Amino acid sequence: MNFQIATLLGQDGLTNGAIYALLALSILLVFTVTRILLIPLGEFVTFGALTMAAIQMGKAPVLEWLLLLLTTIDCSLDIYQQARTRIDKTKLQKTALKLGYALLMVGLMHYLNLAETPMFFQAVLTLCLIVPLGPIMYRLFFQPLADAPALVLLIVSIATHVAMVGVGLLLFGPEGARTQPFSDSGFRLGNVMLKSQTLWIILVSIVLIVSLFIAFERTLYGKALRATAVNRMGARLQGISPVFAGKATFALAAFLGAASGILIAPITTLYYDSGFIISLKGFVGAIIGGLISYPIAAIGAVAVGMIEAFSMFWASNYKEIIVFTLIIPFLIWRSMNSQHVEDEE
Amino acid sequence: MLSKKICTALFLTSSLLAPLANAEIKIGVVSSSTGPIALVGIPQKNTVALLPKSVAGEKVTYISLDDGSDPTATVKAFKKLIDEEKVDAIIGPSGSGNAMGVIQFAAESGTPMLAPVGTAAVVLPMTEQKKWVFKTTQNDDLIASALVDQMKSSGVKTIGLFGTADPFGENWSKVMKELTKKAGIKIVANEYFQRQDTSVTGQSLKILIANPDAVLIAAPGSSSVMPQTTLKEQGYGGQIYQTHGAALDPFLRLGGKAVEGTILAASLMLVLDEVPDSPSKAIATKYVADYKNLYGKTPATFGGNVFDAGLLLKNAIPSALKAGKPGTPEFRAALRSALEHTKEMPATQGVYNLTPADHSGFDERGRELITVKNGKWTLLK
């Protein structure tokens, strides 16, 4: 172990840690606002990476059909509901708009020369495909039982995860994929080679985290979400729609998940089922933060990345065991230090 | 009244027909077309449609089940095939661990099992139960010895092993330890990683520090790519060897420039255009063409393993038919001993010579030394 190795491992740990931090924040956000532990978050990561890879190979990623299918179900539910109450013109317009968006995406995927478009645009397209899946998922699977006990929500969440892994296999096939790096250049710091992708990941993660922070502190919508997280009933009494809060957090989670996927796809091979283990490490970070504190969760997630990198060097066989055993002392420490409040109204 | 009569008539006819229906040969196929080893299972499941439809005038039906890569589901699938469907033989499962768990059920019911799995442990050491198991893949040591010979002749003195932390990687490290000892090559680093790991920097650095002449990466499917790209990125200059686990086209696509010059030993299916004519080449060429017609892409070698299982059965069924009717224990026992005496049978993976002691039966005709040149598989010369 010398300085050079330590920096290489540190660089690796920081890269993965930044991704885990993004995921830990999404898990935390969704949990505090909706009481749902978002197990399918990892699937957004893999869907993001695999869609990007498909686009770069110049073929339509097939995901657009899933989007169209789910949007259609969503819209028919909307129309059914309205037919039972009364027809509202603005709501109908909204439904038509959603369907139009899905159709537009299908059209774009099939008529654009995907491989030729610049990489930034490819990433935007990927996000445009995946982010709407978040709110639709909330609408279809969670909204009908938003008031159910947390355990029921957890079970539905696990079921959604299993279904999405299956869908992933169907859409993307069993082979792994990786994408082209954002830029090929790397530069030297002393005698250590720094990869530019690492810098990209760390930079984008910091930008995302800071903009999230600003959004939650300064904007009305951000404050509404925070209010829901603090007290659901109270926020509702103040006129904050729980449906809106749920959909907004799911959209944010899908965005952060897919963005993480796009960021790490150039440095690793991702499979349709790799998402779970990645989001699980974000989850360890969120647990370190007690599923309540954002900064501690982010720091915890980076620590997970670091520990992972160094245990990979010293004891590659026991890497996962070391990372997941971390959770135990924190749970003990947490349960001893905080009085437990049962959150079941 | 009338409908009651019809019902009775139907019932009677069906009970008459039932024994007739039993006379056809039933083969069960268990593959992992979903779950972590779907990469292996999907081409295997697809191959079922290409298996022989009739043998010696008897119709053969295939019952294909998916075990989702889950060993418990494999046991359930086997029990279903044996108890309910009363199959005469089973092809599968796809995974090494899955196969180890069902050997006793195949043996207890006396059903021959043709396993297209990697690990030699399903047929070695031969026991009373494993008598019922046949393996349609090259044993790891057959592939490994080709690689070790190549290392020796190119002057490699020290190697690093970089394998997956699963039965595939572990068995390779075991086999390599024995073979390298004989060849006088020293293993200076032995590192493991998980298929889903997002980074292998730590393991790769450790190998770099040991600085071996060559590195052997033992990982199934696309997971074999990342160790190699990481090693190259960190500036490793030695020769990199891969196993037959890497012998898939995604390996070339994902690896790009980093896998140029890799040496591996695998079945001739990868380099069909270059190998000299042989019965195996003809069979493999036809299989690849048929598969391509049906699914629009070339099959991975894993599919060939199932195809070979079908050919082995086709070869053994005629003599087994003399001993009894399909669906009877006599037929299954005869099928087993007929399989055991397969002689010089060419198939997609090489030539099979099965004996009571060797239920895999490949020789050096079942492997080729292959390298990657200009992004394509080429025969190593």
Q: Residue A254's domain spans which residues?
A: 3-58+113-177+199-333
Q: CA nearest B165 in A: which residue?
A: A317
- Show the domains of chain B with their CATH numbers: 2-138+282-364 (3.40.50.2300), 140-266 (3.40.50.2300)
3-class DSSP state for residue A147?
A: coil
User: A316–B36: do the CB atoms touch at under 8 Å?
Assistant: no
Please check whether residue A342 lies inside any domain of the structure: no
Tell me: cis bond preceding A295? Omega within 30 of 0 counts: no
- B198 shares contact with chain A (CB less than 8 Å): yes
User: A309–B200: do the CB atoms touch at under 8 Å?
Assistant: no
Mutate to test the interface with A, among B42, B70, B173, B196 (most CBs of A within 10 A): B196
Helix axes A63-84, A41-56, angle to 10 degrees: 130
Burial profile B172-182: b = 16 or more Cβ within 10 angstroms, e = fewer:
bbebbeebbee
How many CA atoms lie within 13 Å of B308's alpha carbon, on the beta-carbon side? Answer: 32
Instruction: Give Cα separations from A81 to A95, A138, B41 (angstroms).
Output: 12, 17, 43
d(CA B151, CA B172): 16
User: B36–A319: do the CB atoms touch at under 8 Å?
Assistant: no
d(CA B307, CA B302): 9
Please check whether residue A311 lies inside any domain of the structure: yes
d(CA B29, CA B45): 8
Instruction: Give Cα separations from B281 to B143, B278, B288 (angstroms).
Output: 19, 5, 10
Please check whether residue A344 lies inside any domain of the structure: no
**Confidence band, pLDDT 50/70/90 cuts, at residue A148:** confident
Q: Which residues of A touch B199 (CB under 8 A)?
A: 12, 15-16, 267-268, 309, 312
In a 10 Å sphere around its CB, with 0-12 CB exposed, 13-18 middle and 19+ buried, how is residue B376 labelled?
Answer: exposed
Please check whether residue A338 lies inside any domain of the structure: no
Note the pLDDT of residue B18: 46
Pairwise pLDDT comparison (B90 vs A292), residue with the higher score: B90
Please check whether residue A123 lies inside any domain of the structure: yes
Closest-CA residue to A17 (of A270, A283, A300, A267): A300
Q: Which residues of B touch A264 (CB under 8 A)?
A: 198
User: Residue A43 — φ and ψ, nearest 5°?
Assistant: -70, -30
Q: CA nearest B246 in A: which residue?
A: A175
* Two tokens, residue B362: 């490949």
Residue A217, domain CATH: 1.10.3470.10
- B30, β-bridge pairs: B65
How many CA atoms lie within 13 Å of B42's alpha carbon, on the beta-carbon side? Answer: 18
Please check whether residue A208 lies inside any domain of the structure: yes
User: Residue A231 — φ and ψ, nearest 5°?
Assistant: -150, 110
Please check whether residue A67 lies inside any domain of the structure: no
Pairwise pLDDT comparison (A54 vs B13), residue with the higher score: A54
CA-based torsion, A281, A284, A286, A288: positive or negative: negative
What's the pTM value of the predicted model, to 2 decimals?
A: 0.81
Number of domains into which chain A is organized: 1
Q: CA nearest A307 in B: which residue?
A: B202
ipTM: 0.77
Q: Which residues of B touch A166 (CB under 8 A)?
A: 34
Instruction: Give Cα separations from B376 to B144, B220, B365, B369 (angstroms).
Output: 22, 19, 22, 14
In a 10 Å sphere around its CB, with 0-12 CB exposed, 13-18 middle and 19+ buried, how is residue B230 labelled?
Answer: buried
A to B CB pairs, distance under 8 Å: 92
Residue B331's H or E segment, with its range, is: helix B329-340
In a 10 Å sphere around its CB, with 0-12 CB exposed, 13-18 middle and 19+ buried, how is residue B345 labelled?
Answer: buried
d(CA B208, CA B292): 42
> pLDDT (tens digit, 0 to 9) for every residue of chain B, 381 residues total?
455 666 555 555 554 444 444 468 899 999 988 877 788 888 899 999 999 888 888 889 999 999 888 889 999 999 999 999 889 999 989 888 888 889 999 999 999 999 988 777 888 788 888 889 999 888 888 888 889 999 999 989 999 999 988 778 888 898 899 899 988 899 999 999 887 788 888 899 889 888 899 999 998 877 888 899 889 888 888 899 998 888 888 888 888 888 889 999 888 888 888 888 888 888 999 999 999 999 888 888 888 899 999 999 999 998 888 888 888 888 999 999 999 888 889 988 888 888 888 888 888 887 889 999 888 888 887
Give the pairing of strands B345-347 and B89-91.
Answer: unpaired
Angle (CA) B14 B20 B23, round 5°: 145
Note the pLDDT of residue A26: 93
- Compute the nearest-CA separation of A94 from chain B (Å): 38
Note the pLDDT of residue B16: 47
Q: Which residues of B touch A312 (CB under 8 A)?
A: 193, 197, 199-203
CA-based torsion, A104, A107, A112, A114: positive or negative: positive
**Cβ-nearest to A175 among B194, B195, B250:** B250
* Two tokens, residue B138: 């090259």
**Confidence band, pLDDT 50/70/90 cuts, at residue A342:** low
* Two tokens, residue B84: 């309910």
How many CA atoms lie within 13 Å of A334's alpha carbon, on the beta-carbon side? Answer: 17
